[in-house]
Amino acid sequence: MSKDNYIPIFQVDAFADSSFKGNPAAVCVIDKPLDDITMQNIAMEMNLTETAFAIPAHKSGILNADRFAIRWFTPTCETSLCGHATLAAAKVLFEIFENKSETLVFHSQRGEIFVTRRGQFLQLDFLAVRPEPTQLSEYMADALRLDIDGLRSDFMDASHDSQAKLILLRFKDVSTIKAVTPDFFELFHVQQALGYEETIITARDYGDYDFISRSFAPILGIDEDPVSGEAHTILAPYWSALLNKKNLVAYQASKRGGEILIEVREDPKRYRDRVILSGKAVIVMEGIINIESNLNES
């Protein structure tokens, strides 16, 4: 059996300072591309919110490369952007492969993502998503069970970005968003019909954090995302404008939970505002995955 049929694979808890928290991702760092079917099968086998595949963008090798192509797969499909799995990939490159770069550049369908070492933290640099006002449709309200759970009166406003396929719903209280119990089967069909990949609910926090959020993406095979970096590319500019603050501390209130430090850097010309997300990550598992049977089939 050829050694080419074995790929190192790692499981990383991103946006976490200890194991079993934050958002788990699988990471494969490879020196040559895999076909789409193999990557999708690996992601399905790992059955985590995302599996990242990173490959050096030039011939200097994994150790010395500072640029990588990256793709992300959920158990059911490929996604165009994933923050926590990018953080996980950088953690593996820095810690396991001992990459010497201070900043890694990941090339994706949605542009470049920069990840920089800052002590114990890793900083992800994303293009900001500027939310525009929209309406809460009755279909979305029903899928979130707002009337059934008596939460409709706590809804405040809605924003979205159709290109990023994100919708953001703000509520009065943190207790309200913690009480939301979506009908994920119905939400899947609503997201499909309205063209959204993530439905984000959020509220201001008056304790340790500036805001709290939850994120749902059943259309991507992820009922509730434990900690979503992509969601914070729209949450950050939204709350920055609302609170008139450039530096924010956020918490995603999933069952696992995760803390994110945020900096919003505005472009004076308003073309390329950036969102800087800082978090920790913990490598919890490493192993080898055998892809021989899939290669024979393809």
Residues in the chain, pLDDT under 50: 1, 298
- Return the pLDDT at 296: 52
- Return the pLDDT at 49: 95
Measure Cα distances from 31 to 4, 7, 192 in Å.
11, 10, 35
Sequence-separated (6 or more) residues with CB below 8 Å from residue 12: 24, 25, 26, 27, 87, 88, 91, 92, 281, 282, 283, 284
162 with 90, same domain? no
116 with 200, same domain? no
Which token pair is 90?
């950088």
- Return the pLDDT at 32: 87
Q: At what angle do helices 229-243 and 83-95 cross, to 10 degrees?
A: 110
Q: Would you please indicate which residues are annotated as catalytic (active-site) residues? A: 50
- Return the pLDDT at 293: 58
106 with 181, same domain? no
pLDDT for 245-286, tens place per residue? 999 999 999 999 999 999 999 887 666 899 999 999 999 999
200 with 88, same domain? no
In a domain, 181, yes or no: yes
77 with 184, same domain? no
Q: What's the N-to-C CA distance of the chain in angstroms?
A: 17
In a domain, 252, yes or no: yes
Q: How many domains would you assign to the chain?
A: 2
Q: Which amino acid is at 291?
A: I
In a domain, 125, yes or no: no
163 with 222, same domain? yes
pTM: 0.92
Q: What are phi and psi of 257, to 5 degrees?
A: 75, 155
In a domain, 163, yes or no: yes
What CA–CA distance (Å, rounded) separates 121 from 17? 10
pLDDT for 139-176, tens place per residue? 999 999 999 999 999 999 999 999 999 999 999 999 99
74 with 147, same domain? no
In a domain, 273, yes or no: no
Query: Residue 213's closest CA among 264, 253, 262, 261?
Result: 253
231 with 158, same domain? yes
Q: What angle do CA 62, 67, 69 make, to 5 degrees?
A: 90
In a domain, 265, yes or no: no
215 close to 231: Cβ distance less than 8 angstroms = yes
- Return the pLDDT at 294: 57
What CA–CA distance (Å, rounded) separates 284 from 208? 27
Residues spanned by the domain of 14: 3-120+281-297
In a domain, 270, yes or no: no
**What's the CATH code of the domain at 69?**
3.10.310.10
What CA–CA distance (Å, rounded) separates 106 from 234? 20
103 with 206, same domain? no
In a domain, 274, yes or no: no
